[in-house]
Amino acid sequence: MSLRLGYGLNGFTDHRLEDALALLAELGYDGVALTLDHAHLDPFAPDLAGRAARVGALLERHGLAVVVETGARYVLDPRRKHEPTLVSDTGRARRIDLLERAIRVAAEVGSPTVSCWSGIAPAGASRDELWSRVEAGVAALLPVADSHGVDLALEPEPGMFLERIADVLELRRRLGSPDRLRLTIDVGHLRCTEDAEPAACILGAGDLVANVQIDDMRRGVHEHLPLGEGEVDFPPVLAALEAIEFAGLVAVELPRHSHAAPSLAASSLEFLRDAARRPQEVGR
């Protein structure tokens, strides 16, 4: 298998970063998805650049690649999950500041991509207003991303304003299809919300895919499940990623399973390697 497998550190929040990285490297993972949060790299604590440099050195010591994620639940507001966002009625500048910090961290630790999402549409805001907000926010971030050589990858998230791949493609169109604006795919989300099968979605997105999160899920239920416990057919998904020559990390995304992180990391790697060995025919 030519795909590079990673594990999301938001599923290792009960571990010190040093211990999590050592464990994942020992298991044989190729990299990690690093969520900026209090657990491993707080984006608002003092000396962010210095701490990011130390994280970069740790990653290099263990031979791990990295992608930066920004989906921490309470990093901006201790009372409101994920708020404020790019589409909130107020406070959007704070989300943009967080994403700018993430871009700088990505450049420091060697991540080619920063992954983010739009946020849940607040009640009472028109679709035109929501489009205006998300366009303005992303447009402000793209020059920062470009100056640091980092891609911004929007993730369609169930229940959010940008919920499906088509929504992200529409945002790209509205902004003139900028090279730095690409796509994060969560395989479970594809099963949850998209009409087509996950493998077909991946093939359709092609080289716009900059980041992949992998987990299991059921149709219409936004719950990240360990691999094999939902409805995703994984061999064709992995074959589709091979077919589009995806070169980034395919990182296991189990943010509610830190209590079982070591065993799930081991079993997830075994599951994906086994799924990749099963022959599949994937055509465009």
- Looking at the predicted structure, is the pLDDT value of residue 97 above 90? yes
- Cα 14 from Cα 265, distance rounded (Å): 14
Residues of the chain with pLDDT > 90, as a percent, come to: 96
Q: Average pLDDT over the chain, rounded to whole?
A: 96
Among 72, 62, 111, 79, residue whose Cα is nearest residue 95: 72
Which residues are CB-contacts of 42 (< 8 A; sequence separation ≥ 6)? 36, 51, 75
- Looking at the predicted structure, is the pLDDT value of residue 280 above 70? no
What pLDDT is attached to residue 127? Answer: 97
What pLDDT is attached to residue 129? Answer: 98
Q: At what angle do helices 92-109 and 48-62 cross, to 10 degrees?
A: 40
What pLDDT is attached to residue 50? Answer: 97
What pLDDT is attached to residue 284? Answer: 37
- Looking at the predicted structure, is the pLDDT value of residue 281 above 90? no
Residues of the chain with pLDDT > 70, as a percent, come to: 98
Tokens 């902004």, residue? 175
Torsion of Cα atoms, 271 then 276 then 282 then 284, to 10° = 90
Lowest mean pLDDT across 110-124, 209-223, 266-280: 266-280
What pLDDT is attached to residue 282? Answer: 46
Buried b (16+ CB within 10 A) or exposed e, 115-124: bbbbbbbbee
**Average confidence (pLDDT) over 203-229:** 97
Task: List residues bridging with 51 in a β-sheet.
Answer: none
Which residues are CB-contacts of 147 (< 8 A; sequence separation ≥ 6)? none
**Average confidence (pLDDT) over 88-106:** 98
Contact (Cβ atoms closer than 8 angstroms) between residue 155 and residue 107 = no
Q: Is 110 helix (H, G, I), strand (E, B) or coil?
A: coil
- Looking at the predicted structure, is the pLDDT value of residue 279 above 70? no
What pLDDT is attached to residue 278? Answer: 82
Q: Please name the amino acid found at residue 157.
A: E
